Amino acid sequence: VQLQASGGGLVQAGGSLRLSCAGSGRTFSIATMAWFRQAPGKEREFVAAISMNGGGTNYADSVKGRFTVSRDNAKNTVYLQMNSLKPGDTAVYYCAADRRSYYYTGEYDYWGQGTQVTVSS
């Protein structure tokens, strides 16, 4: 699976952004998809994941109620809608794919390049 993330940018606190991750390959539809992020000087952390058919989702506590992960298997694309953004959400965001459950938050098998999200106060 090859992944290409896009949609990052600069936004003021309280604003919204939607990230997209386009996948290639037939295996996209049978993979759990997830978003991770890495802030400067910090380790990469799990943000959200969605099951193969989109019926199951999992979120980090820090983004619950603000972020929504979704997918369109017909378009081989996964999305991360980010609302009520905070300066603490500033990071490089990565999409990832794995065959394990959407509850898995460890090291995924496939990674896309990151997209920068910067939230100003």
Confidence of residue 25 (pLDDT cuts 50, 70, 90): confident
Q: How far apart are CA 64 and CA 107, in angstroms?
A: 21
C-alpha neighbours within 13 Å on the C-beta side of residue 96: 25
How deeply is 120 buried, as exposed, middle or buried, from its count of CB atoms within 10 A (0-12, 13-18, 19+)?
exposed
| Total count of residues recorded for the chain | 121
Tokens coding 64: 């619950």
pLDDT digits (tens, 9 = 90+) for 46-101: 999 999 999 999 999 999 999 999 999 999 999 999 999 999 999 999 999 999 99
